[in-house]
Amino acid sequence: MSAARALQPAAGDIQRASYRHALGRIPTGVAFAAARAPDGSPVGLLINSFTSVSMDPPLVSWCLALTARSAPVFTRATHFAISVLAENQQTLIVALKRPAEDRFSGVPIRGGAGDAPVLEAAAAAFECRVFSINRAGDHDIFIGEVTSFESGADEPLAYLGGRFGQVRVFA
């Protein structure tokens, strides 16, 4: 740790902004979680909490705030899809952050497992059956059993410290 940075208080005394800043130092991918509402309308949101859980069976997870407007849809859905945005899809972020009723307007999607929306031309996509939903603090952790997946040729979009960027791997 750099000498210029002070240690933060213990977990019980964590200041929200400082904690959020520290978490922002972890680079993540940019993914879009999506499902279908009971009325058939698509629901989705950008996430950066996506990760692999298990190879056998193939399980993935992501987290959703209990206060998210889409939480009731996701907690009732039997399936969801995770689309990992490619570097060349950064312009989609503006659309995917629009109000829920306009979010999918003009966004190229296809129906995945359980008709969950999958973004076209994503760096990777995972179609999942809900395996479990676990409450943890102010979020639900969704674990999905991967029923189908695809991997594109484009590099994934990265997110770090509130900015989008490229993933670069050194040999």
- For the stretch 86-143, pLDDT in tens is 999 999 999 999 998 899 999 999 999 999 999 999 999 999 999 999 999 999 999 9
Query: If you search the block for the tokens 């213990």, which residue do you land on?
Result: 10
Check residue 7 and give its pLDDT: 53
Check residue 2 and give its pLDDT: 44
State the SS3 of 91-133: CHHHHHCCCHHHCCCCCCEEECHHHCEEECCCCEEEEEEEEEE
Check residue 6 and give its pLDDT: 52
CATH number at residue 91: 2.30.110.10
Give the C-alpha separation, 2 to 51, whole Å. Answer: 29
Read off the pLDDT of each residue in 71-99 and give the average, rounded to a whole number. Answer: 95
**Residue 159 DSSP SS3:** strand
Domain housing 68: 29-153
DSSP 8-class letter at 86: B
pLDDT by residue (tens digit) across 1-22?
Answer: 444 455 555 555 668 888 888 8
Domain count, the chain: 1
Flag whether pLDDT at 67 surpasses 50. Answer: yes
Residue 92 dihedral angles phi and psi, to the nearest 5°? -70, -20
Could you tell me if residue 19 is inside a domain?
A: no
Check residue 3 and give its pLDDT: 45
